[in-house]
Structures are given as C-alpha cells and as structure tokens.
Structure 1
C-alpha cells in the first residue's frame, strides 16, 4: 500500500516555483519524492497500484513498443470479462501524459513507463484502482499552477483537465480494491505461464536493497534543496 505521495519526474524539478508547489502538496497531506525515470508528476495513495514486468534481453534487444504492448495486453486480459475497450493512446489533459496512457471511453486510469536495465527492461504501470481520478488530477493541476504561476518555461508542462481522468472502479461501475486487482493479475499470469514465481530478498540482496534505498533518499534530498 502506498502512503499519500506525489512522485515527481526529473523535469518537474525545474519548475520555477517548485518549492511553493511542494509546500502546497505537503499541506494537502502528501509526501514528495523524485524518481530517476522519465515522465512527470503522478499521484500515489492506498488506492493506486503499481505493477512492474521485467523482461530479460537475450541476444536480440527488446523493441521499446513491445514492452509497452505487453503491459497493455496484460491489462486487457485482466479485465477481459468487461465489455469495455481499453485503449492505449495519449489522453490530453491528464497528468503525466504519454502515448501509452490506458483509458476507457476517453478517460485515463493508468499510465505505462519503461526503464532499461542491464540485460533487460522494466515496464511499469500505475493503476488508479479506486477513489476519484478527477480529484487526483485536480491536485496535480493546482501543483503545476502554484509551481509555474505566470512564468514562461522552456518545457511545456501539461494543462491538467481533471475530467479526463477516472479510476477503474468509476469506469467499470463496480467496487474494486487493490486486492481484487492483484488477484486478477495473479490469475492472468498463472493462466499464461502455468505457475507463479514469488520471491523474497536473500541475505545477499538485502544490503544491496538498503544501499539503493539510501541512494534514492539522498538523490531526493539533493533535488529538494536546489
């Protein structure tokens, strides 16, 4: 489960009045962190689920669209029992817009990103499972408003239109929670592979995890001080 957090992209750290925007978010009860992958600000809370697929690159590299398409197909199959089409295209007016925004009837409920790893690629998705998608979007709209004011910026930040975002529960018109979606994910993966791998960190991996975690905190503090 996520605590209430707004995750900023590197480009967001260049906003002219970033400190005022972050103060606003903190006043609304949100922590603020910066990620080292692409994209812009997104909202995380206990009704938003993040999933990651990690693909190994053997001899031939993975085409960038193949990773996005794989995640899109996975989400389609997870919710195949609903007679609603899940589209992948940019939803203008959403926060962190991209060509693989997932939407139903023009309303975005998820975004996909991709990060290259050594000998592999990680495809990540955030799914707004429950709650109000438009309220999350309104939070980010106000963040950008307070972080830019009337200043001109070289980078064009999104003009947020809250009404173009919704949660899966709102779009499917059923009560959904994080556990429901995780169960759908596991069933779909099992149907595809015949089994499910689960793992925990080994004694050797735990110190590495703690080291990477500390590096994330240090990088975040650096951006916050600039």
Structure 2
C-alpha cells in the first residue's frame, strides 16, 4: 500500500481549477500563476494550494531546447502542426500539452526547510493514491527514451504517462505534473522526436538531448483500458484533496497575489522574447 507523504496532509487546501478556460488561456499565464502562488504560500498568506490547468495544443520547451542548433526550423515544424510554443521557467525539457493532458501543481510552504526530493515524493504519493482503485503498478524512475526524461517519470509497465518538475520561489515550491489522460502518448512523443531530429540534426551539442522512442509513452486510458476524461480526473483530485484535509477553500488570486502574478507574467513574456528572439 502506498504510504501518504506528510506534505500532503495540511489542515486546509486551496483549490484553483483552471482546467476549462479554453484555448485563450496561455501557458505563460500558468507559470506566472504558480510563481505568484508560491510566494503567497511561502509567506503563509495562503494555505497549501492545488491548481489544475489545461492548455490547448501547446509545446512547452525547456531552456536547453531553445539552444538547439537548428531551433528555428524545429519550432517552425511545431507551428506548422498547429502548436503554440513557449519556454518555461522550471526545469526539464519539451513536453506536449493538449486537451487530453491535465496539469496539476501542488504548492507547498517551507521550501527552504524541506528537501527538494520531498516535493517530488509527495506528488508521486498523491498520484498513486489518486488511481489506487485502478492500479497498483505506478512506478517512478527515469524513462530514458521518453520526452522530458527525469528521475520521477511515472510509468506503468515501462510506459510513461506523466512527468514531474519543481520550481522554488522564495519560501514556496510548486511541484508540477502533466498527466496524459486520454489520446495517444506515442503520437505526442513522435511529434517531439521529429522536433529534436530537425533541431539537432548531426551536430555535436554540449547538452544531451533525448533520443525519443514513441513506443515508451502512453496515456492513462491506453495503459488502464479506461475511458477517463480530464474532467473525471479533476473530480478525483478534488475528492482526494477533501479526503486529505477535510477543508477546501476556492478563492481566486487577491491583493498582493494579483500584483505578483502580473510581475511574473511580464517576466515570462520577456524571457520568451529573449529565448525565442528572431525565431519567428
């Protein structure tokens, strides 16, 4: 039985659902939102927070991706397939977001006192609990031939369905996971496989980019033989949070949080302009 991580049991959870805002909701806004909430949670102005978010047809690049030798041609390929492209401010490499991918941020206080691995372990524990009625086979280890490979990749029978990153701002930490709920994990992986082929070609690079094998990635529905929707998983998360804390609040950004959001959003815009300069 998966033991619940102590970070997951605050007295109160704040729940912010941005999973149904539609195509006009930019991923740049999402990362700015998590930064603002991390400051607020870290300052104890807000309780521990869970935020859900969905972005339509968006490729989120890591900073190293923007340094590919032929990044301009690689981004043109993504855009020709109908995807928006941004560069995020947290760790990792390129991931595919669409309406079958649900993102969850768990935002905790005391990041300066809590080991970074605890944040990752807490998210792993939460996801195992979330789907415990469907499987006990969720494992956490690096799937090296996936996109955005990392130590805390989540997989079932060797096929990755989720990846976790973490960003620490002041005394708060946002642990972010994407969950491939529906659709084809292999098709998403094939898109990024071609991105790296076009972006790197045969050039030697100081950074080691992934050699993607689309067959090692799948959605939860493909792995479990289920017909889950993003809304279904959203409801599971909401019920699990209530079970863990017994007290949920749902207020939106307020006061200083709004100012922090706007400041971080401007920073994200400038970061992207710099990283993707002259690539249009």
- Separation in structure 2 between the aligned mates of residue 111 and residue 36 of structure 1, nearest angstrom: 16
Q: Is the contact between residue 68 and residue 200 of structure 2 (CA under 8 Å) also seen in structure 1?
A: yes
Structure 2 residue 100 is matched with structure 1 residue 47: yes
Flag the structure with more relative contact order, 1 or 2, with Cα contacts below 8 A and sequence separation at least 6. Answer: 2
Q: Is the contact between residue 185 and residue 214 of structure 2 (CA under 8 Å) also seen in structure 1?
A: yes
- Separation in structure 2 between the aligned mates of residue 203 and residue 98 of structure 1, nearest angstrom: 36
Query: Which of 237, 246, 259 is equivalent to 1:185?
Result: 237
Consecutive unaligned residues of structure 1, counting only runs of 5 or more, are none
Taking structure 1 as the reference length, the TM-score comes to 0.95
Map 1:78-93 to 2 at 5 A: 78-93=130-145
Aligned to 2:25: none
**Aligned with 2:96: secondary structure?**
strand
Aligned to 1:7: 60
- Separation in structure 2 between the aligned mates of residue 117 and residue 222 of structure 1, nearest angstrom: 21
Consecutive unaligned residues of structure 2, counting only runs of 5 or more, are 1-53
Taking structure 2 as the reference length, the TM-score comes to 0.77
**Aligned with 1:153: secondary structure?**
coil
Give the alignment's Cα RMSD to 1 decimal.
Answer: 1.4
- Separation in structure 2 between the aligned mates of residue 8 and residue 210 of structure 1, nearest angstrom: 22
- Separation in structure 2 between the aligned mates of residue 186 and residue 44 of structure 1, nearest angstrom: 21
Number of residue equivalences: 225
Aligned to 2:249: 197
State the 1:213 CA deviation: 1.7
Query: Which of 74, 78, 83 is equivalent to 1:30?
Result: 83
Query: Which of 158, 164, 181 is equivalent to 1:112?
Result: 164
State the 1:204 CA deviation: 4.5
Map 1:147-162 to 2 at 5 A: 147-162=199-214
